[in-house]
Amino acid sequence: MIQVNQLSKKYNNTIVLNINNLEIPKGQSFGLVGNNGAGKTTFFSLLLDLIQPSTGYVKSNDIQVNTSEKWKSFTGSFLDESFLIGYLTPEEYFYFIGDLRHQNKADIDALLAKHEEFFNGEILNNKKYLRDLSKGNQKKVGIIATLIGNPEVVILDEPFANLDPTTVSRLKKIIKELAENPNVTVLVSSHDLQHTVEVCDRIVALNKGEIVKDIQTSEETLQELESFFAV
Amino acid sequence: MIKKFIYLEWKAFIRSASFGKNLTMKIIIGFLMIYFSLIFIAMGVGAFYVLKDMHLEPFSTINRFLIYYFLFDLVIRLLLQSIPVLNIKPLLILPFKKPVIVHFSLGKTVLSFFNWVHALFFVPFSVVLAIEGYNISGIIFWNLAMLSLIYINNFLNIILSNIDKLFIAFVVLILVLGGAQYYKLFDVTVFTTPFFQGLYNINGLFIIPILILIGLYVYTFKYLKNNLYLDAGLSVKEDIAETQNLAWLNQFGTLGTFLKNDIKLIKRNKRSKTTIFMSVLFLFYGFLFFGNSHQPAVMHIFAGIFVSGGFLFVFGQFVPSWDSSYYQLMMTQNIPYRGYITSKWWLIVIATFLSTILASFYLFFGWEIYLTIVVGAIYNIGVNSHLVLLGGAFTKTPIDLSNAAGAFGDKKAFNVSAMLLTLPKILLPLGLYAIGLYLNNKNLGLALVAGAGVLGFVFKDKVFSLIEKRYKIEKYSTINAYKQKS
């Protein structure tokens, strides 16, 4: 589904990301782990054509993302709060994204009803604008908004951060469910090794922009990663 | 300790997104600032002689209208000048004493644009007074009093800023007083003029405003110090949100989706709300030109463009910065640039159209005047709407929607490429109209301007492709600039 070729990003001669070759097949749930500055967000930003690669390219479903915009119709993503529109209520935000993805109001309402448990009664009908929600609640809105319109690629940057323990376990359930769908490719980045191992089939560890580990998840994966990151 | 604060402020200033870039830009900006300052100074100097020309005693006439001057100043401040609250938060847990923090934030407001802009008028005016033989010590005392009154307004604004919609009360007050004076029912200046005049004539009277200022400062200081908590003075007011569907816009497809969003954007944010207020002000801009024999006839088209173009200039100028806080979202959604730009274009067109209808009261000046406004509107829709959108591709200043300050010549919102694009917005129609006047045919001038507008409209699709291309080229640097929050 996603092909990365000779991809690198340089800022003033400092290489922040350098991936020679990476292929993510359709339907895989892909976890990206690494310390701060490892290049996780840079990689996702390149995938979403938010920054320009210094060399190489990314292809999503055979569409090169920095030359065509067709990938936008099947990609859902949430990197940070700057993906939210502060002066809308959560409902309005969902309908807005829904309109852009050609979903009608009933589709959105169905999706929201499905994830009512995830919202924990703190999001809908709360008479609050998104800008006035807490960080965790903002994140819940952003995550569910990526699911609108049944995207084939879902990209979540640090989805577990800022969430309460209950919500984390509910989010894991949602991601696992997505991963079970053979048409959906999920990309998740995290600092939290355990969460990532739990929800992903494959884990790639980045360090200073380079891929240092690429493992199919198994019983020993967590231990392997922990010993790798332990100094 | 103050040194540390100044260090922080300096860093904040020189590291803002639009500061820097390159040297030529800085030089151009410098020249423009000097140019505008000179214009203001010329106004300060000119006021004296213009009033004298009208056979009025200049000084007492100014004193007579000072009450309106200061009331109006307060309204402007309540609307636009905001208090730097957010920068205080990170300081609270550091070893700064609270009084120092408060003194510093109050001190910062002292340096605000809203205060020193008055000096551009008062200083040259006073110099002229001195040259014309007025008593120097009297002038100095009078100026001290003016300074105090300006700062009284400054601190009043801080105390009153928590009260919603207070400015309306002051606008009503000004209108009532002005109206009563105009119809000779009640003249407030009869009571206030002796006071302002007395500041000059009576030695020592200037102490009163200074004492009031000191008292007000102490009060403001205590007020802020007692409210220096996250849930008190530093809390950001949360509005009660209401979900609005605006379903009637659905029939316009993607365009409707964006229009819905833009309407909410304007309604729910302080900064964008002021653009509506400004657009209404622009409606009355024509009064300066029409029926005013001091102005050359060619300036009529100038007024014609501004009357209907208020929204275009104050809102359109900052597309796409209005969406800066969620620009990354827009760039990852399934939307073509063209749809996005088109919706902004329609918003501008609708606003221009409404302004033109509202401006029909200019028919009192004769249908020719109104025709000028209609022609201006055609030009705005046909040409200027495209130009502001094109200028938008170069606007890389993120807009903090919740903040009302900065709608007026904020340093950070100053952008030379966008500035240069404003020139053809005004100069081209001015030139076309001048050709008509030169050939002694006013209607020809109007026809030329309207023709340019229609032509722009005809080539809309071509121009839009061009704008779209520009936006795409600028995409990455725009995203990067918007990431820097002020």
Q: What is the pLDDT of residue B289?
A: 77
C-alpha to C-alpha distances, A202 to A20, A28, A226, nearest whole angstrom: 18, 8, 16
Q: Which residues of B touch A58 (CB under 8 A)?
A: none
CB within 8 Å: B260 and A96: yes
Instruction: State residue B225's pLDDT score.
Output: 85
Residue B43 has which token pair? Answer: 């106004």
Q: Tokens at residue B358, please?
A: 């509202």
- Residues A154 and A187: beta-carbon distance below 8 Å: yes
Task: Read off the DSSP letter of residue A49.
Answer: T
Is the minimum CB–CB distance between A52 and chain B shorter than 8 Å?
A: yes
Contact A168, A160 (CB under 8 A): yes
Architecture of the domain made up of A2-85+152-230: 3-Layer(aba) Sandwich (3.40)
Q: Nearest-CA neighbor of B308 among B273, B272, B350, B267?
A: B350
Q: Kindly tell me if the per-residue pLDDT of A98 is higher than 80.
A: yes
Q: How many CB pairs under 8 A join A and B?
A: 86
Q: Using alpha carbons, select from B315, B273, B327, B325 the residue that is nearest to residue B486.
A: B325
Q: Which residues of B touch A133 (CB under 8 A)?
A: none
- Retrieve residue B272's tokens: 């964008």
Separation of alpha carbons A119 and B308, rounded Å: 46
How close B406 comes to chain A (CA, Å)?
Answer: 19
Q: Enumerate the residues of chain A whose CB falls inside 8 A of the CB of residue B336.
A: 69
pLDDT given at position B279:
83
- A127 closest CB neighbour out of B241, B244, B268: B241
Per-residue confidence (pLDDT) for residue B26, from 0 to 100 = 63
Tell me the domain boundaries of chain B: 1-227, 247-483
B332–A contact, CB cutoff 8 A: yes
A129–B239 C-beta distance less than 8 A: yes
Of A79, A91, A126, the CB nearest to B328: A79
The answer to whether the beta carbons of residues B300 and B369 sit under 8 Å apart is yes
Per-run averaged pLDDT (10 residues), chain B, 486 residues: 76 61 62 73 81 82 87 82 67 81 83 80 86 87 91 88 74 86 83 87 87 93 83 69 78 84 87 80 81 73 87 85 88 83 90 92 87 92 90 78 47 51 78 87 88 92 91 89 71
Residue B225, both tokens: 């110090």
Least confident of A6-20, A84-98, B100-114, B317-331: B100-114
Is pLDDT of A168 > 90? yes
Q: Tokens 């009208």 label which residue?
A: B54
Q: In chain B, which residues have their Cβ closer than 8 Å to the Cβ of A82?
A: 325-329, 483
Give the percent of chain A with pLDDT over 90: 71
Asked if B422 is an interface residue toward chain A (Cβ–Cβ < 8 A), one would say no
Q: What does pLDDT average to over chain A? A: 91
Token digits of residue B71 = 């009331």
SS3 letters for B330-398?
HHHCCCCHHHHHHHHHHHHHHHHHHHHHHHHHHHHHCHHHHHHHHHHHHHHHHHHHHHHHHHHCCCCCC
Best of B239, B322, B334 to disrupt the A interface by mutation (most A CBs within 10 Å)?
Answer: B334
- List C-alpha distances in Å: A52 to A44, B18, B329: 12, 21, 17
Q: Tell which of B243, B249, B337, B478 to mutate to test the A interface (max A CBs under 10 Å).
A: B243
Q: What is the pLDDT of residue B193?
A: 87
Q: Taking CB atoms and an 8 Å limit, are B334 and A83 in contact across chains?
A: no
Q: How far is CA A127 from CA A123, B181, B257, in A?
A: 9, 46, 21
Residue A63's H or E segment, with its range, is strand A63-64
A159 cis-preceded (ω within 30 degrees of 0): no
For chain B, the average pLDDT equals 81
Answer yes or no: do B328 and A96 touch at CB < 8 A.
Answer: no
- Enumerate the domain spans of chain A: 2-85+152-230
**What are the pLDDT digits (tens) for A195-213?**
999 999 999 999 999 999 8
Amino acid letter, residue B162: N
Q: How far apart are CA B324 and CA B396, in angstroms?
A: 9
Measure Cα distances from B116 to B10, B61, B121, B122, B272 in Å. 19, 23, 10, 10, 25
Among A83, A93, A13, CA closest to A50: A83
B240 at interface of A, judged by CB pairs closer than 8 A: yes
Give the CB-side neighbour count of residue A41, counting CA atoms within 13 A. Answer: 10
Task: Determine whether the interchain pair A89/B335 forms a contact, defined as Cβ–Cβ distance below 8 Å.
Answer: no
A64 touches A58 (CB < 8 A): yes
CB within 8 A of B120, min separation 6: which ones? B37, B40, B41, B44
- Do A47 and A2 touch, CB atoms closer than 8 A? yes
Least confident of A23-27, A172-176, B242-246: B242-246
Judged by CB atoms within 8 Å, which residues 13-42 of A form the interface with B? Answer: none
DSSP labels for B109-123? HHT-HHHHHHHHHHH
A92 with B333: Cβ contact below 8 A: no
Q: Does A79 touch chain B (CB under 8 A)?
A: yes
Taking the CA of residue A36 and the nearest CA in chain B, the distance in Å comes to: 19
Please report the residues numbered 382 through 411 in chain B whose beta carbons come closer than 8 angstroms to any beta carbon of chain A: 401-402
Q: What is the DSSP code string of A140-155?
A: HHHHHHHTTT--SEEE
Q: Alpha-carbon Rg of chain A, whole angstroms?
A: 17
Closest alpha carbon within chain B to A130: B241
Residues of chain B positioned with their CB less than 8 A from the CB of A88: 261, 264
The residue of chain B nearest to residue A104, with distances taken between CA atoms, is B250
Of A51, A73, A129, the CB nearest to B241: A129
Q: When comparing pLDDT for B204 and A186, which is higher?
A: A186
ipTM for this model: 0.85
Q: Do B254 and A95 lie within an 8 Å CB cutoff?
A: no
